[in-house]
Amino acid sequence: MPNKHILLKRIQPEENLYHYTKCRGVQGILKDKAFFATKSDFLNDTNEMRYTLALTRDVLTEFPILEEHSSLRQQLSLTTEEMKRQCYYVLSFSVEADSITLWSEFGNNTGYNLEFKSGELLDMISRTKKISYHGLLIYSRETQRKIIHDLLTKDIPQNLGCSFDDIMKNAAGNGGDESFRKYCKQFKKAMSIYAVFFKQEEFAAEKEYRVVLKETSDSEVHYREKDGFLLPYIRVNLRKAHDAVNRITVAPQNHVDLAKEGMQMYARQLGYSAEVCLSKINLRY
């Protein structure tokens, strides 16, 4: 059941999502009709979890009552550490159709970009895997801090039917207070999700959109090699991939006829009618 404390900006069904990848990645998606959803703590920016943990601890220092009762602050800090135990798998897209940042990061300027109809893509994914959450990443540090502050002082206390001050005062007098334990549990659950959607402002140009899947008992975890280590992932099958792919864009550095014509032939052979076009970005090397 989705956590009602989680508020994310979602894409509209008629809008498009874009997946930047190298040539081998495009072949895998088009031919095998599948995505690889990466375990959340193995994503490209390995600092993501540490960033959210540090941000949360920083927000906790704003509350005098936590400073007065260091044991409470410690318990809440331990609650944030427990976020790392949560097991989610992530599919990453972007709402940017032709981004030099993403071309460089995911395809070394020589890859491809698959454009998907978001409504059909999300429906397709949900037919094989349960989508826990999906939405745009939050890059603004100010917004992130406000979300954490509101969770602590308003959202979770209201859900428990009492005020933040009362929860803290009761916990200060009795470290084993039941309301405080519930408070910490709900905070951990909410932050374990937000940790997947918080990212440093320096990455804002990516305009990333994530689809988060919860690992279940029947999830078959696979491993692939990346940069000399094993990367855990689960396979997400796309039964009607032909219907979801709108367009295939060739990266800026591949502005040669063979790059476009080769992909056109490959897509047609696999039964795709998607348009194949060149990036509008011109690079000189």
In a domain, 11, yes or no: no
Strands 112-117 and 245-250: antiparallel
Question: 234-256: buried (b, 16+ CB within 10 Å) or exposed (e) per residue?
Answer: bbbebeebebbbbebbbbbbbee
In a domain, 285, yes or no: no
d(CA 28, CA 175): 53
Rounded to whole angstroms, what are the CA distances from 125 to 21, 121, 132, 210, 284? 19, 6, 11, 12, 38
Q: Which amino acid is at 34?
A: A
In a domain, 199, yes or no: yes
Question: Residue 88: how many CB atoms within 10 A of its CB?
Answer: 20
Q: Which residue did the predictor score with more confidence, 149 or 79?
A: 149
In a domain, 5, yes or no: no
Dihedral, CA of residue 263, residue 264, residue 266 and residue 267, to nearest 10: 110
In a domain, 58, yes or no: yes
In degrees and rounded to multiples of 5, residue 137 shows phi and psi of: -70, 155
Q: How many domains does the chain have?
A: 1
pLDDT digits over 79-130, tens only? Answer: 777 766 667 899 999 999 999 999 988 766 678 999 999 999 999 999 889 8
Strands 275-278 and 245-250: parallel
In a domain, 95, yes or no: yes
Q: Give me the domain span that covers residue 129.
A: 16-278
Under 8 Å CB-to-CB from 278, ≥6 apart: which residues?
249, 250, 254, 255, 260
Question: What local confidence, expressed as pLDDT, does residue 1 receive?
Answer: 43
Strands 88-94 and 131-136: unpaired
Question: What local confidence, expressed as pLDDT, does residue 48 receive?
Answer: 76
Mean pLDDT, residues 14-21? 95
Alpha helices in 34-163 (DSSP H): 48-60, 64-68, 70-81, 100-107, 118-128, 141-150, 156-160
Handedness of CA 184, 130, 235, 199 (dihedral sign): negative
pLDDT digits over 241-276, tens only? Answer: 888 899 999 998 766 678 889 999 999 999 999 999
Q: Which amino acid is at 160?
A: L
d(CA 214, CA 192): 12
pLDDT digits over 32-91, tens only? Answer: 999 999 888 777 555 777 888 889 989 988 888 887 777 788 888 877 777 666 678 999
In a domain, 232, yes or no: yes
pLDDT digits over 170-209, tens only? Answer: 888 765 678 888 998 899 889 888 989 999 999 999 999 9
Contact 264/276 with Cβ under 8 angstroms?
Answer: yes
Question: What local confidence, expressed as pLDDT, does residue 73 receive?
Answer: 80
Confidence band of 235 (pLDDT split at 50, 70, 90) = very high
In a domain, 7, yes or no: no
Q: Taking every pair of C-alpha atoms in the chain, what is the biggest distance, in angstroms?
A: 74
Question: What local confidence, expressed as pLDDT, does residue 184 receive?
Answer: 87
Contact 173/165 with Cβ under 8 angstroms?
Answer: no
DSSP string, 192-252: HHHHHHB--GGGGGG-EEEEEEE--TT--EEEEEETTEEEEEEEEE-TTHHHHEEEEEE-G
Confidence band of 17 (pLDDT split at 50, 70, 90) = very high
Supply the DSSP symbol for 162: S
